[in-house]
Amino acid sequence: MRTTSSAPSILLVDEIASPLGRIVIAARAGRLCALEFGRPRMARQLARRYGRLPRRPARDPFGISTRIRNYLSGKLTAVDAIPVDTGGTPFQRRVWRALRGIRAGQTMSYGALAHALGRHTAVRAVGAANGRNPISIVVPCHRLVGGDGRLTGYGGGLWRKRWLLDHEGAARAATRRTTPRGEPRTGRRRSPR
């Protein structure tokens, strides 16, 4: 039985078995609010954002669990249109919206994303926002890589980041980066200042 409605004052929680381990999601008012790997991390995140807001187990809230399962089975665009409620600061929300613009199979460096946001010197701020992303996979923070193409930080563990990029066909070398418009890099580099 799929849950199709919920009072905004209740968080609906579901768990999904996956090759990445147990995925826990929370949703309310038709939007995905959190996606984490494991209950303890999810509980801490929800407590920070929602305090003591009641939580109720729900099977496939708003069809979100089905979409995530479809993504995990190879339908990579299945999560693209999931409505989200990320919370966060205005800058964090800008970063998270930009992440959703990186297509499956592509990666982008933290610096390239900062540049795309018009904040050329905000590479660390982009990294910090990426690290606070409350909705892994759907807000694809795993698609950000280091400036040299190496895999760097991922709250769920680098092995999960590598799995997700392999699953999307991007990890053979996380060195295949894109420019802010999604076009392959030419290989030319700017000279150091």
Annotated catalytic residues are 141
d(CA 106, CA 169): 8
Which tokens in the block code for residue 28? 């309310």
Q: Do residues 2 and 64 make contact, with C-beta atoms less than 8 angstroms apart? A: no
Q: Which residue type occupies 67? A: R
Classify residue 191 by its DSSP letter: P
d(CA 102, CA 144): 9
